[in-house]
Structure 1
């Protein structure tokens, strides 16, 4: 699925992954080989793509985005936006995509004019590495399905894209991998300036996501004042478990992921017994945690045990500690 085009984005928004109907272990055994394989794939698909975990971070960024979409409807200049920054593995892209998906579905469900036939309420663009302003404009043209002839000037592309975004009533523009706009390089400065210019001309709300955006120069130097005044910056950080509230948030995350795995013999809440070990193994990073648990669930399904091996996680912690101790001695 190529979400960098309007057709791919629409496919992503339209995709529905229903939770597989629970069956008993005996009912699973009675299935044919093909039926079991299909049921296994359905559970893996649901865990990967159908069960989005609405973390406190997600709720905060979603609210900030909605507020700015509303405010920008009445602003002629100085459009407001949101920046989501952080280290890899903190769920930034997942958050960005889900915010866009929910916005478009909400517009459809309420028969909003932005979702009328022919309109494109949400646009998603990933910034290519070593990006020029014209190349980035070409990514917008590609999403919108506009002709981007090589001989077209930057100004012509800007006019074409900005006019198309207005005609299509685009309200939300998602810019991923914005860390590629490292302003130590002149071509990236031009691309950054292009986004600002496009924001003023198209009327939509821009949401940026990238790795350690603060280190790119986008939020420093002469641009810092403009960007920080107009964009609310949110930093995606690993989960901490230093107090009761943080431990509660971590437990809620574990329970949500546990539920998404659809293991037939997994007792609800059993995962909490390994909460501390899972935090040590993942360093509180949601991406690492989800990958670890989904692989463990696939193993449990393949082996037929249909529940997580809770004892596996403290053993892994002990192995890590032993390895770390050996490195210190060495």
Structure 2
């Protein structure tokens, strides 16, 4: 998805749909494929991010003199940051394409969204080259960073890019010379491109991104959207229980008893520490196992048999010191 062709394919591919009442039963392979890709669960973070992005895009639409306000999606690993980022990007892409279809006979589709991954050990030149690669802008080895940046700003503006999604922003360290130059490049791009920037970062407040002069500039322009673990309770609401119910309602199992997973909400919260990524993986993997062994249902025993990511497992089953 870090090229325009790949992003367009992702954004325009019809998402998988859960089983509908009255539909004929799906084959085993179809159901395995469905649980492998699965639907996007609308978490509170996704709702908040979508609302904030829409408001900031309108707020910055006619801003000319300074950088537009930006957003940072932050939270621990396996909290669903990238999923939220991609979901909002796809929504923006489809909405813009519906409102601005290409003229009859035109072969050029609208380019409302750009998605860029910060490469490991990024320098300013390697990062701006990633921006260029997304739209297929030719970059020769002899070109300077300034020349590539100028080409990127010209092409992105001409293409009408309105939303720039930058993932893995925690790979930047403004305390180093290279990191500071790369952070300056991003600041330059936000001021030259007529687009709203949204970053995704692992626990941004614990990284150097918000420290020093450059960090203060970013903090002064960016709104944080916390994609942290879902609490078991929040005032009178039970957001984790609601998400589990949503996941269960979208399963395609032949003998699963509705209400089983919500009853195990305390266990599931302890098992996954409230992380949406770990939760969906746990339930999807249990569903795939249930199809493969023909039990067609998820129980607490089958959930406990699934080995999750190391982070979730070490929190659920902490190492005990022996005497």
* TM-score over 0.5 (shorter chain): yes
Q: Which residue of 2 aligns with 1:260?
A: 250
SS of equivalent to 2:210? coil
Q: Report the 3-state secondary structure (helix = DSSP H, G, I; strand = E; otherwise coil) of the residue aligned with 1:206.
A: strand
Q: How many angstroms does 1:215 deviate by?
A: 3.1
Q: Partner of 2:8 in structure 1? A: 10
Residues 58 and 95, structure 1, Cα contact 8 Å, conserved in 2:
yes
**How far did 1:38 drift?**
3.1
Post-superposition shift, 1:165?
0.8
Separation in 2 of the partners of 1:281 and 1:67?
36
State the Cα RMSD in Å: 2.7
Higher normalized helix content (fraction of residues): 1
Residue 174 of structure 1: aligned partner: 165
Superposed CA offset, 1:221-247 (max 9, x none)? 11233222211012221122245545x
Q: Check conservation: 1:274, 1:313, Cα contact below 8 A.
A: no
TM-score, length of structure 2 as denominator length:
0.88
Of the structure 1 ranges 72-81 and 223-232, higher mean CA displacement relative to structure 2 is found in 223-232
Alignment of 1:1-330 (within 5 A): 3-19=1-17, 21=19, 36-47=27-38, 51-76=39-64, 77-111=66-100, 117-243=108-234, 245-246=236-237, 248-313=238-303, 324=318, 327-330=320-323
Deviations 1:188-219, CA, capped at 9 Å, x for gaps: 11111101101111110000001122233221
Residue 274 of structure 1 contacts residue 314 of structure 1 at CA under 8 Å; is this kept in 2? no
- Give the superposition deviation at 1:278: 0.6
Are the aligned partners of 2:89 and 2:113 in contact in 1 as well (CA < 8 Å)? yes
How much does 1:270 deviate?
A: 2.0
CA distance in 2, matches of 1:66, 1:41: 35
Q: CA deviation at 1:321?
A: 10
The 1:153–1:279 alpha-carbon spacing in structure 2 relative to 1, beyond 3 Å, is same
Structure 2 residue aligned with 1:32: none
Which has the higher mean CA deviation after the structures are superposed, 272-281 or 235-244? Answer: 235-244
Q: Partners of 1:189 and 1:58 in 2: how far apart?
A: 30
Q: Using a 3 Å threshold, how does the CA distance of structure 1 residues 44 and 184 change in structure 2: closer, same or farther?
A: same
Q: 1:21 to 1:154 in 2, by over 3 A?
A: same
Structure 2: give runs of 5+ residues left out of the alignment. 307-312
For 2:260 and 2:82, the matched residues in 1 are separated by 29
Compute the displacement of 1:311 (Å). Answer: 4.0
